[in-house]
Amino acid sequence: MSRGLIVVDVQNDFCEGGSVPVAGGARIATAIADLVRESRGRDYQYVVATRDHHIDPGSHFSDHPDFQDSFPVHCVAGEEGGEFHPHFAPAVTGGHVDAVFFKGAHSASKSGFEGADTQGTSLADWLRARGVEDVDVVGIATDHCVRATALDAVAAGFRARVRLDYSVGVAPHTTAAALDDFRQAGVAVSGEAPTS
């Protein structure tokens, strides 16, 4: 049995200075990079990362966003905002991340399980092929893409845990609602969310 780490959307547009910034994003990028370097091969047999990778996601981009289903333009394929944050990117380029899964090219996709790697392999299939049964989910944002990824992990048959000490949420009320969703779905939660 193998445990995997799923790092969700640690990208420039979701950190300070980006088009949809989450307070504490840059700090959590550094913390996750340290976690990946220190724990890959010890706590985690595999580490993967997800990336918002929008080409034409339709109504997901809006001039009048509701910040639930629609957002300002962000993480456009090929643009700087969609790249991994520089605090996290060295963990990817340094070989500590085994695969990257791109999501949301033509949709409002939030879950990493809706993404695929460069060969077109889905995240669930990639993990199953390597015998992964347990996954920890970290990243940005607890109440959006981390939430969707963790819930889809359980729906796909994995045992999932969200590590709050390596995740950051957009707002207290939506993060609290996500924690309720985790409990109801059987997603374990560990750690305390960092203060901004």
3-state helix, strand, coil in the chain (%, to 5): 35, 25, 40
Three-state secondary structure call for residue 132: strand
Using the predicted structure, report yes or no on whether residue 1 has a pLDDT greater than 70: no
How confident is the model over 92-111, as a mean pLDDT?
89
Mean pLDDT along residues 21-34 = 96
Helices (H), the chain: 25-39, 89-93, 123-129, 145-155, 172-185
9 is catalytic: yes
| pLDDT mean over 68-86 | 87
Q: Burial, 195: exposed, middle or buried (Cβ in 10 Å; 0-12, 13-18, 19+)? A: exposed
pLDDT band at 60 (very low <50, low <70, confident <90, very high): confident
pLDDT, tens digit (0-9, with 9 covering 90-100), for 133-178: 999 999 999 999 999 999 999 999 999 999 999 999 999 999 999 9
- Clarify whether 69 is annotated catalytic: no
- 133 vs 130: CA distance, rounded Å: 9
Position 11 pLDDT exceeds 70: yes
**CA gap 194, 169 in Å, rounded:** 9
pLDDT at 86: 97
Is 103 noted as a catalytic residue in this protein?
yes
Can you give the pLDDT at residue 56?
81
Mean pLDDT over the full length of the chain:
92
Rounded-to-integer distance, Cα 117 and Cα 151, Å: 20
At position 68, the amino acid (one-letter code) is Q
Marked catalytic residue, from 15, 103, 143, 152: 103
Beta carbons within 10 angstroms of residue 102's beta carbon: 21
pLDDT above 70 covers a percentage of the chain that reads 97
Q: Which of 22-36, 64-78, 93-107, 174-188 has the lowest mean pLDDT?
A: 64-78
